Structure 1
Amino acid sequence: MDAWRPKVPGITEVLHAHFTHHAYPVHTHTTWDLMLLDDGVVDFALDRTRHGATDASRVVLLPPGVPHDGRTVNATGFRKRVLYLSTDVLPARLAGKAVAGPILGDAALRARVHRLHAALRDRDDALEAQSRLAFVRERLLVHLDAHRVRPPGREGDRLAARLRELLDARLADGLTLGEATSLLHAHPTHLIRSFSRAYGLPPHTYLTGLRIERARRLLLAGERPVEVAAAVGFYDQAHLNRHFKRHLGVTPVAYARRRHSAVPVGRPAPR
């Protein structure tokens, strides 16, 4: 079992668990329980109606304040990933729709939740996790009959340009999604869609690319990787290393060592 509280507003806890012999007693949450069943079978009752989750393509959504339980069905148990979402993400007044249908057969929603879990594993990239949570929330609100998706219009290009200016100016300090939407008076997913349509990549990916580009210049100027990480907005050197290697195939140290060499970065020197 692995559990933690991420630095993402609206997510009170993340839980990854594998149960082989376990039964939850009847209980309630003050949060929404958003579960991916990765393997096995789980049986649960919600508001005294029993349900069985047997398909790993499904998503289970349990609302706050409604009694439920959960138990393994066979010896192999079940493997799950759960996000506990506050009522700031989904209002408690929407619980009735979830009680009526807690198991959602939505491949797009499952993919969004899966990508959010992956982003939460990298606990230093808050903007990505916040962005992915916004799209999970949007999809859930559609299921709960509380939202309709509006594609970006002409104003989207202006929003995208203004967001790009903010990201350029906040390279070292970073920018939360909440700050961006407040400053630009825009809905989170509308803002992200506008930016992605205008520039071909989401805001968090653009910001990471900016940071890597700046880091390369500083490394070639002789700055130490630990100093570069802080200067360009990465949490620490390990955070810089992870993204730098993903972008360029080598660590910042290896890149810096080759700055006076004619050997292309990422290729071995000729013998």
Structure 2
Amino acid sequence: MDSGGGPAAGRGSGGTGRRASGEWARHWRHAGLPGLDLLRARYVRHTFPRHSHDGFVLGAVSGGIEEVGLPEGTVRAGHGSVVMINPEVPHTARAGVDEGWTYSTLYTSAELVAGIAAETTTLRGTPGFTQTSVTDVHTARLIHEVHRAAEEGNALAADSVLRIIVARLLHAHGGSLPTRTPRTAGALRAARARDILQERLAEPPTLEELAAQLETSPFALLRAFKDAYGMPPHTWLTDLRVRRARRLLESGSMPAEVAAAVGFTDQPHLNRHFTKIVGVPPGAYRRERGPAAGAGRKNVQDPGARPRLA
């Protein structure tokens, strides 16, 4: 049974300058598991800035403490905890103790969760989770087991256990997510500002230009946008650029090309923001999803190896 702590310490911790801190990470996808990304990592100094995901986050902490910053406050998750974050919920993450935290995370698509909810629950509307963190040692162990099965190339086992996890969590902590329909003038302007930023991803307007286009003041737009999306426009735009960068890298584009396509100044600019938000550099992310990555990499099960940060 995978403890979730990653392969044994020692060799191959990566070439990103983090070896001394003991940090390591592997962010990857199994070809036989559509709608699922996997991250297994230990972070000590790394902090995730405010960002969100278009799908669900299901994480199991196996060591240390993770502090997750959410709109309603900070959650501290330790060994045996399961963290559940719904789509588009802005959050941060960092170590809650000096030794950092170790965890296994499943990034599941909204479509996958909706399908499981329709098959196994009576939830109406858009399904999601009503709790952010619970102590559930059994489910945490199952999350680690999905990683173990995927790394061994056993897509059947990984998919089966994944569905058991989602159904179990929906039954215990599921609910219908509120719909986000802009009603106030501020919310409508925020939605329009979001659309403009999406359209002008590589060459966005200044805040003053954006506010003028929407016939409001810069501060009023800042307040309305943060109320609607949990972060100011420039933070939201960086998050969107990283999401687009992920898709381009997954399609095989090179990091330098991706940086220019999504509006980053250069590749180091992409590297910095991508690594902060995703947890691994874009080069490592691309390698785990390219044609050579395969359906599983049994070499990472070598007891002397670690998932790499670069």
User: Could you state the TM-score of these two structures normalised by the residue count of structure 1?
Assistant: 0.48
User: Could you state the TM-score of these two structures normalised by the residue count of structure 2?
Assistant: 0.43
Between Structure 1 and Structure 2, whose CA radius of gyration is higher?
1
Comparing both chains, which one has the higher relative contact order based on Cα–Cα distances under 8 Å and sequence gaps of 6 or more? Answer: 2
